[in-house]
Amino acid sequence: MSNLEQKPAETWVECDAVLAAGPALPEIIQAREVPLGGPRAMTVHRTLPSRERTLIGAWCFVDHYGPSDVSVTGGMVVPPHPHTGLQTVSWLFAGEIEHRDSVGSHAFVRPGELNLMTAGRGISHSEISTSATTTLHGVQLWVALPEASRQVGPFFESHRAVPATVQDAELAVFVGSLAGASVGATTFTPLVAAEIRLPAGGVAELPVRADFEHGVLVDAGELSVEGGRVQRTELAYTGLGRTSIRLEAGARPVRALLIGGAPLREQILMWWNFVGRNHEEVVGYRAQWQRESGAEPADAPDASSGPADQAAASALPRRFGDSDHHFAGNPLPAPVLPGVRLRPRD
């Protein structure tokens, strides 16, 4: 999925700063609403990045959407757009999305199936909800790639989730290992992700790795996470040092998502759909996408780059692949960069 904000803020992370440890009450991150483009604009609830926290392990982006009636919202129509330095993780609760990308992948995202796209040095893709979809409901997550792997060639894979049971909780593990269930999805840092279902009043003590930090996103119902109450669309961050996470459902059944991983311990710069390391890289990525997608001529001026930046970007080989593989629609132009260098925020 693309970040369709017209004025995306840069997010600069020095990852050693996230090493807060448990077992205090979890930190509750409230979502902000972001329209997902178009005149009717399906709304997504974004909890990462946020003012409170920008990373959980290497997880750097969490969008939660639906359930939405596609006859009202128009569903998901995200035309071809680029990514660098990250993996996209698509997980649905309801509906169906058609995925096409610039390495020739053609897949359908359906409930219970992980769709994982590794952008690496660069990829472009499109995502459109199918005509069979009446309700669209799910999450889109991004994982920042570490320095050693962020220039890998792009690729795509799908995996069925693996079920597990922990006391009252029914799990569907779709990244990494949890409660004896493992999925062979490609990751470049230690990660875990699972859907969790609890009946009303249900309790579960999830076994987790103490060297992981974790987040619990509530999709339905009201949940207590280690004694802290978490409402729908909120994300509870539990920090490092825990060997288990206690979950207690309220008066209604709960569906939640657990994400976690080892702290990345690297400095990253996120802007729009790009994860890089500095201003020059992001400027170069944007300039290449604008040229390769036909959004701007090769010599179009950039508000924040000088001649040297633009010359360096022009000299790079094609990064975002063959747009002929995309489903439909014109490529999404990149937003205008701010008129200053991208830099850390206070």
DSSP 192-230: EEEEEEE-TT-EEEEE--TT-EEEEEEEES-EEETTEEE
- The percentage of the chain sitting over the pLDDT mark of 70, rounded to a whole number, equals 84
| Domain segments of the chain as ranges | 11-261
Q: What is the pLDDT of residue 172?
A: 98
- CB of 304 within 8 A of CB of 338? yes
Please report where in the chains the tokens 């369709």 appear, as a residue: 4
- The percentage of the chain sitting over the pLDDT mark of 90, rounded to a whole number, equals 74
Q: What is the pLDDT of residue 345?
A: 47
Instruction: Indicate the range of 111-125, 298-312, 323-337 predicted with least confidence.
Output: 298-312
- CB-neighbour burial class of residue 83 (10 A; exposed 0-12, middle 13-18, buried 19+): buried
- CB of 185 within 8 A of CB of 174? yes
| CA gap 143, 194 in Å, rounded | 15
Q: What is the pLDDT of residue 176?
A: 98
Candidate CATH numbers 3.40.50.300, 3.30.470.20, 2.60.120.10, 3.40.220.10; the one for domain 11-261: 2.60.120.10
How would you classify the pairing of strands 59-69 and 43-48? antiparallel
pTM of the model: 0.88
Q: What is the pLDDT of residue 19?
A: 42
- Residue 335 tokens, joined: 């937003």
pLDDT-based confidence at residue 62 (cuts at 50, 70, 90)? very high
Q: What is the pLDDT of residue 107?
A: 95
How many Cα atoms occupy the beta-carbon half-sphere of 195 within 13 Å?
Answer: 20
How many Cα atoms occupy the beta-carbon half-sphere of 148 within 13 Å?
Answer: 5
- Residue 270 tokens, joined: 């996120």
For the CA atoms of 337, 341, 345, 346, the dihedral, rounded to the nearest 10 degrees, stands at -140
